[in-house]
Amino acid sequence: MAQWGKEGLNYTEDDLIQLSALQHMLFCERQCALIHIEQIWSENLFTAEGRIMHDKVDTGSPETRGKIRHEFSMPLRSLRLGLIGKADVVEFHKVSSKWFPFPIEHKRGKPKQD
């Protein structure tokens, strides 16, 4: 259960929500419940293509070219936000001596409107 701390509300590991669940919830609440609560999943042509695309991204090794660094399959976790997941790619841009992150999501098809 979430606890109040110096930084505000903090969640425990058991409370964390998968980032992918948020995407599913925005698309369809029923789909989210089937996948993340009932753990019912049925792969089709589109999800298989998406899985293959993600598998290709997951095999990438970190690479730096000049002032840009790419990290692949980067684990993400925030006890403050109560979220856990994995970024397909995070692109870091070096400005002066600091690196600034820009997440890059790999999806099959066109981007969804809000």
For the chain, what is the domain count?
Answer: 1
Q: Is residue 112 part of a domain?
A: no
pLDDT number for residue 92: 96
Residue 51 lies in a domain: yes
Tell me if 85 is assigned to some domain: yes
Residue 90 lies in a domain: yes
- In-domain check, residue 109: no
Sign of CA dihedral 36, 42, 47, 52: positive
94 contacts 67 by C-beta, under 8 angstroms: yes
For 16, the domain range is 3-104
pTM of the model: 0.69
Residues near 32 by beta carbon (within 8 Å), at least 6 away in sequence: 21, 24, 25
Low-confidence ranges of the chain (pLDDT < 70): 1-2, 5-8, 56-59, 106-114
pLDDT score recorded for residue 37: 87
Helices (H), ranges, the chain: 19-27, 29-36, 45-58
110 domain-assigned? no
User: Do the domain assignments include residue 114?
Assistant: no
Distance between CA atoms of residues 44 and 52, nearest Å: 12
